[in-house]
Every structure is written in C-alpha cells, then in structure tokens.
Chain A
C-alpha cells in the first residue's frame, strides 16, 4: 500500500476516534478544575495553589435502552493500568509536567446516552500488596496503608474561610491485624462514589467544581481524612459526592453529587 494512502487511512481512523478495530471506540475524558467561574491550572500558579488528584475506574456506558456496557480504561502507564486511571490536574504543588488531566478508555461502538465512572480504586485492587503495585497505583500520596488502601480523591486546598482543608476520601472501617495486612472482609464504608454524566461520542470534558468543597464554613483547619461520619463538617463534604457518610454508599445512585459536571463552556 502506498505510504500516502496508509497515512490517509490512519488519519481518518484517528479522526473517527477509533484505531484498528472498527467495532471499538477510543475516547477521552478530559478533566478541568473550576473554582467558581475560574479555571484552575498550574500555569502561573501562586504558592497556595490547591493540589488535587483522584482515581477513575469502572467506566460504564449506558445505551438508549438503558443497557450498561463496560468500557476499558486503556493500559497506558504511568497514568493508567489495571483498569484504573489517576487524574492529577493540580498535583504535588503544581510542579510542571507532573500532572494528568485525561482518562482514555475503549468501548464497543454503539449509540450511548450516558457515561458512569467509579471515583476510586476497585475493591479487588484496593488492598493488594502496595510493594508490588505499578503506576498509577504506587503514588504514595494517594495511598494510606495496605489495610485502608487508596485515597480515592485527594484535595489539599484553602477553604473560602481562609483555613486549610485536607479532604482525602477513601474506604474506612477496615479491619485487619495490622496496617500492613489486608482486611479479610470488605471495609465497612467503601466511600466509592459513582459519577453519572451524559455521553459524548468524541469524549467528554468534565468540570471538577471545587467551590462546593471549599465553601465549608469551618473556622479552623479542616481535616477529613477518615472517620468522616464522626465530624459534621466532613459529613457535609462526603455528601457533596452523593455519598452517605454513615454507610459509605451512594444515596440515590450518587445523582446529587455536586463535584463533577459536563463542561458548560470550552
């Protein structure tokens, strides 16, 4: 085949968002961080810039008939492996080149109306031997211990009230003989939100709205890094993800979450 013709075919394939297999669609979720109307980025960030990272897994597409079709988080180290992606839009003090704002997934071609993802690491991987973990599951800032597993969502920022916030969401109520032993049974509160969004065939830009998380009226440094159910201010923050702090489960399929939304403007 002439090289020019091959190049054309490849170009057409990449425009259509599919590679090689015409029955499979490859698309991206792009994440953009907002605080009110302001888009936050590390470019030109001042010293007190928030840091934000979270895991995305179990992407599911919903077709017109309401059928749920699992998508695959593409293997793409260091940000994606084992069906898990780490999104780090404002990472580690906003050092340039250390972040990731995209999740690439593959799904069977089809007519879809909705997309869901789990905000966190699947239970089957959450308590695996951390020494053996590969990127992105070996980012220590996103890991508590073998027993408790990963921080599904981590935000370190300044509240609107001026005090620091540490919001680290993950499973709690985990029992094992030591922090370096995995729990024999599932943790009492999984705290793994499922986020539902409308589907776009060519991928979706998702706004991460920090406003609802930073609006807490706390009048001191606020640390929600476990035992959320025991602190009223942390219960409120957990509810922003659509979760019930007592059970760690979605309320009404997490539909009332207030953090993720399809981008309203480019």
Chain B
C-alpha cells in the first residue's frame, strides 16, 4: 500500500496545475457499479485526503474529546462496540452507530430517514445536533475554522482540495471533504466476492456455501431485505437511478399489543407520520457484519448468533411486522453454517487499509 501515498500526492499536484483534474479512481473490482456522487461535490483524491484528516481530528468536537472516528472505528468497519453512541459531552444517543462500509451506495442515511439522501445532509446531525449533542459544534463554527486555518497542514490540504477558492475554510467545505472520505470507504474484497463474482469455486468452504444457501432459502428469507451485491435493498448506484425504499419492521418490539415500538424511537413513522411505518428501520449492509456487534437500531442484540435466534423466533407478530419475518426452524449445525457465511463477508484488508486509517497516529509516518 505504500506506493499509494506518492500516487495520491502526484494526483493532488496535477489537480493544482490548472485544467481538468484527473477523474477520481474508485479502485473497484471489475464489474461492480460506481456509487452516485452529488454533482456539486465531485470526488477527488485531494478532498478524500483532507476529509480523512478531518474525520480523525478531535478539534471537530466542542471540547476536543471526539472526532468522527471516535464512534466510527476502522477496525470495527467504522462502527463501534457499544450498544448506543455517546457524544463528546457524555450525552447518550438513542441509536447504535452504523458501520460506514459502502455507505456511498446507500439509498438513504441513518437508521430510518428517507429524506436524508446525501452524506452531506446526514453529517450535519453528528456535527451540529443538539438533541442529543454528539460532536457539539453548533455555535462553534468560527472557532473551529480558525483553529484549522492556523494549521499549516490544513492550509495545504484545503488549498489542494478546493483550488481557486479565496477562503476555503468554510464548513461547507469541511462537510464536502468528510463526505468524500466517507464515500471512499468501499469494501468489496471478501472471500464471498471472490466466489460470487470472481468465479473462484474454492473461495468459500463447504460450511460457508451451506450458509449461503440458507441465506437465500425460502425458509430463512434473509436475502429479501439484505439482497444484491451490497447485501441491503438500500442501495443505489450509477446503473440504478431508481432506488427502493427499504425500511422494515422486524418485530423487535410490541409495547402495546398493537405493534407499537418504544416511544423513544419508533423508526420511520417518526419521520413520515404514516401509521404503517411503525417500527420500520433501514436494512443495513451485511458486509463486515461480523465485526459490528452489537446489532439492531438500538444495539440491543449482542451477537450475530443472537440475531439469528431472534429471527428464528420471529419476533413480536404484530400487524406491523414484515411478512418475511415470521420465524423459522434452524438446527445448531445450520446456524453455524449461516454464521460462517456471514463471517465470509468480512473484508480484512478494508479493516486495516492505510488509506482509511488515522493520519495522526504515531505510526503513520507523519
């Protein structure tokens, strides 16, 4: 991976030389579709590089205690191990931190909000949200920008990312750069991919293949919500302009005997106010799912095995529960096979990829 650093530098320099910058290289394996990118925030190596620094920079919190990476940890596929997130000031957030794996392909963002269709929109919540406070930057914008502007490294990074701007130190640019870095977090290098799309029949073990069969079986029905190359219906890309609306009630709760979820977080209905949207949440990708415990929107299920048990039991059979969540019989051996398959969706290289790592870490050569 070391040669990538000089390459990124070379691209950055080329971008400053005037004329059209080089198109961003996603580095996707052959055949995979490219993510859609907003026209007003095109990808560039320089923006990704700046965004990486900002993502890991604790100066982007009210008290210098947290960065984006505090809750989105690379070794955990940019999720975290606690059930629900805790912000810079110690306030508890109601939801489990989502993995950032392949979110460039998301049809929408957060656990349940069809209106948030761009990372740039979603990011305003952790940066500026006050209920709860996460990074707590509301009212601190000028202070943060001044601190960044006083840093020679950032003066270089901002100038490279936003060439030609008299004063690139704006929060619009901060958000654009972090969004670009987050879009670059593509994870498609798993043994499953080598089997499914690389044609390598030996890439999955017999147990993992049995698990793949179970995953696609009528009995388990996992693939209905977690289908496609990205293992979620919430996927859009350059060959698919029309995205689905992939929100489902998994029967996790029924507090009133009529299918209601706890008032603190009722999912999609809290955004749409449609009664039928009670308890609906977005199906997240299953890529790297083995490293993102605990599970569900509130982090209430500690392990993948417990998730399988939950779906096998079928949850609360309310009228809001998705018809595909209806319980199933599964033997201990089948459960092991299914778990083995889910573990084959882990992209070890992604979890340690130096392009995504903390640039301020002592061993980063900085």
Contacts and interface: CB of A to CB of B under 8 A. Distances in A.
A34 interface: no
Nearest to B233: A140
Contact of A178 (B209, B240, B245): B209
A140 B324 contact: no
Nearest to B276: A47
Contacts of B21: none
Contacts of A133: 239
A129 to B, nearest CB: 7
A143 B213 CA distance: 16
Given A48-B276, A178-B195, A144 B216 contact: yes
B245 A78 contact: no
Interface in B300-324: 323-324
B243 to A, nearest CB: 8
A50 to B, nearest CB: 11
Interface string A217-228: 000010101110
Contacts of A225: 218, 221, 224
B23 interface: no
B32 interface: yes
Nearest to A227: B218
Contact of B213 (A47, A93, A178, A226): A178
B99 to A, nearest CB: 19
Contact of A93 (B216, B235, B245): B245
A221 B31 CA distance: 39
Output the residue of A132, A143, A166, A180 with the most chain B CB within 10 A: A180
B195 A226 contact: no
B64 to A, nearest CB: 42
Contact of A138 (B31, B216, B239): B239
A111 interface: no
Interface in A79-110: 92-93, 95, 98
Interface in A123-179: 129-136, 138-141, 143-148, 156, 164-166, 177-179
Interface string B325-347: 01000000000000000000000
A82 B323 CA distance: 32
B274 interface: yes
A165 B324 CA distance: 10
Given A47-B274, A47-B277, A141 B244 contact: yes
Interface string B256-296: 00000000000000000011110000000000000000000
B227 A179 contact: no
Contacts of A46: 274, 276
B154 interface: no
A120 B323 CA distance: 23
A143 B226 CA distance: 12
Contacts of B242: 78, 98, 135-136, 139
Output the residue of A145, A156, A178, A227 with the most chain B CB within 10 A: A178
Interface in A192-236: 221, 223, 225-227
Interface string A41-57: 00000111000000000
Chain A interface mostly: loop
Contacts of A177: 201, 209
A177 B195 CA distance: 11
B245 A95 contact: yes
B324 A78 contact: no
Nearest to B326: A221
B116 interface: no
B114 to A, nearest CB: 7
B228 interface: yes
B197 interface: yes
Contact of B324 (A143, A145, A166, A180): A166
A132 B196 contact: no
B326 A129 contact: no
Interface string B203-238: 010000100110110100101100111000101000
Interface string B42-60: 0000000000000000000
A128 to B, nearest CB: 12
B5 to A, nearest CB: 31
Nearest to B210: A178
A154 B274 CA distance: 23
B1 interface: no
Nearest to A97: B242
B241 interface: yes
Contacts of A131: 31-33, 197, 229
Nearest to A165: B323
A166 B243 CA distance: 20
Interface of A: 46-48, 78, 92-93, 95, 98, 129-136, 138-141, 143-148, 156, 164-166, 177-180, 221, 223, 225-227
Given A48-B276, A140-B235, A148-B216, 10 more contacts: A47-B274, A78-B241, A78-B242, A135-B242, A139-B242, A146-B196, A178-B212, A178-B213, A221-B326, A227-B218
17 contacts: A47-B275, A47-B276, A47-B277, A93-B247, A129-B197, A131-B32, A136-B242, A140-B227, A140-B228, A144-B227, A145-B216, A147-B216, A164-B323, A178-B196, A179-B223, A180-B212, A223-B326
